[in-house]
Structure 1
Amino acid sequence: MNENKTPNDETEAEIAEASAAADASVSADAGDEAAKALEQLSGENAELKDRMLRLAAEMDNLRKRTEREVADTRAYAIASFARDMLTATDSLSRALMVISPETRASADATLKSLIEGIDMTEREMQRLLAKHGVKPIEAEGQKFDPHRHQAMFEVPDATKPEGTVVQVVQTGFAIGERVLRPAMVGVSRGGGAGGSGEADTAGVDKSA
């Protein structure tokens, strides 16, 4: 019992209590606002991080795609020129093929030098083509592949599975995975065990 408490003391106490309650309410509101602001900032940060990761992935994909395109350009830039070179090497090869062994053996020094020059030129052109990725297509003994071989005729051969390349008329060439020209071939017909029927010889030029 505080008999000495005056009305003024009671008023001051009430004011202090009300002020404390107001301060507590303000602090609670400030805390809620701060929590909301923090939550909003956290969400924005997560969104920015996600966008940055997506952008980084897109840039990496773009880099890889550009590297592939540059590699393809380098690999296939000479494709058209290589085809022309093959025509020239074919001409040299045919010129050498028509020279019989007898002619070579009985040729005088001048003709021998000419033959050797043609032979060396043809070999050097083949070497340069190989240096730049132009390689002959395997054909003889292989299963006929319409993407890499051009069938010119059929050869009856019971010893080979049907659709096997048994003769190469003209060598084919490819650069990387791209066919510059298909190999012109003859394929077996009516083969033995392992033959796969008409599908193997689809596309055969039977009028050749």
Structure 2
Amino acid sequence: MSQENKTNEQAEEQEAKLEQEFTAEEFSPEELAGGGDEVAALKAEVANLKDRLLRTMAETENVRRRAEKDKADASAYAVTNFARDMLNISDNMRRALDTMPEEIPADLKAFVDGIEMTERELLNIFERHGIKKVDPKVGEKFDHKVHQAMFEVPTTEHVPGSVMQVVAAGYVIRDRLLRPAMVGVAKGEVQKVDTEV
């Protein structure tokens, strides 16, 4: 039996017990006739206790749900700090591969292949743990939720506010941003003002 079912059953048993205690008390007709104030006071007390019980049960349920959500978040995002540190390794591998010359000597070919395989495996491991790469394309609209503008480039070739250059890819872990993609953003050319009259 789950903890939630046990809690619900216990609360229902307590509520039934309280109701039974108050309804089990028998009053004589004289007490009922002369003690209308007492009966009203007892009924008010029962209603008050029932209200407090229901509020306590609701609060307990809210605490339980919050604890479950915190536990799920802790499990889902436990690797966040470690993943953030690993991003630097991924970036350095990509930089090393980007600086390789077009023509690779035969004696270095196996070395380069090893670095490429290591990078692919690292990205696969990221994927398995819910870490996805945010790799914007040139011309894509700048999105402040996943991009960070590093600089602006005055240009007429691209729409202002679009990505001009990608400095570093970004990453998300599940639905949270791990690191924004660092980009250069297109800026409209400054309009020249005609000062001649």
Q: Does 1:117 align with 2:118?
A: no
Query: Among residues 176, 179, 183, which one is paired with 2:177 in the alignment?
Result: 179
Write the letter of the residue equivalent to 1:102: E
Distance, in Å, in 1 between the alignment partners of 2:157 and 2:69 is: 45
Distance, in Å, in 1 between the alignment partners of 2:149 and 2:31 is: 86
CA shift, 1:117, in A, is 1.6
- Matched residue, 2:69: 68
- Matched residue, 2:161: 163
Distance, in Å, in 1 between the alignment partners of 2:118 and 2:59 is: 50
- Matched residue, 1:144: 142
TM-score, normalised to structure 2, is: 0.70
TM-score, normalised to structure 1, is: 0.67
CA shift, 1:146, in A, is 4.2
- Cα distance change on mapping 1:50 and 1:142 into 2, 3 Å: farther
- Matched residue, 2:100: 99
- Cα distance change on mapping 1:30 and 1:94 into 2, 3 Å: closer
1:41-60 equivalences under 5 Å are 41-60=42-61
Secondary structure of the residue that 2:103 maps to in structure 1?
helix
Secondary structure of the residue that 2:182 maps to in structure 1?
strand
- Matched residue, 1:79: 80
Distance, in Å, in 2 between the alignment partners of 1:36 and 1:47 is: 16
Which structure: larger Rg? 1
Unaligned runs of 5+ in 2: 1-27, 190-197
- Matched residue, 2:125: 128
CA shift, 1:48, in A, is 1.4
Write the letter of the residue equivalent to 2:156: A
Secondary structure of the residue that 2:95 maps to in structure 1?
helix
Distance, in Å, in 2 between the alignment partners of 1:38 and 1:163 is: 74
- Matched residue, 1:23: none
Write the letter of the residue equivalent to 2:71: V
Distance, in Å, in 2 between the alignment partners of 1:80 and 1:88 is: 14
CA shift, 1:87, in A, is 0.8
Distance, in Å, in 1 between the alignment partners of 2:74 and 2:95 is: 32
- Matched residue, 1:90: 91
CA shift, 1:62, in A, is 0.9
Secondary structure of the residue that 1:56 maps to in structure 2?
helix
Write the letter of the residue equivalent to 1:126: L
Write the letter of the residue equivalent to 1:131: R
Q: Does 1:32 align with 2:20?
A: no
Distance, in Å, in 1 between the alignment partners of 2:32 and 2:76 is: 65
User: C-alpha root-mean-square deviation of aligned residues, in Å?
Assistant: 2.4
Counting matched residue pairs gives 161
Secondary structure of the residue that 1:101 maps to in structure 2?
coil
Identity of aligned residues (%): 47
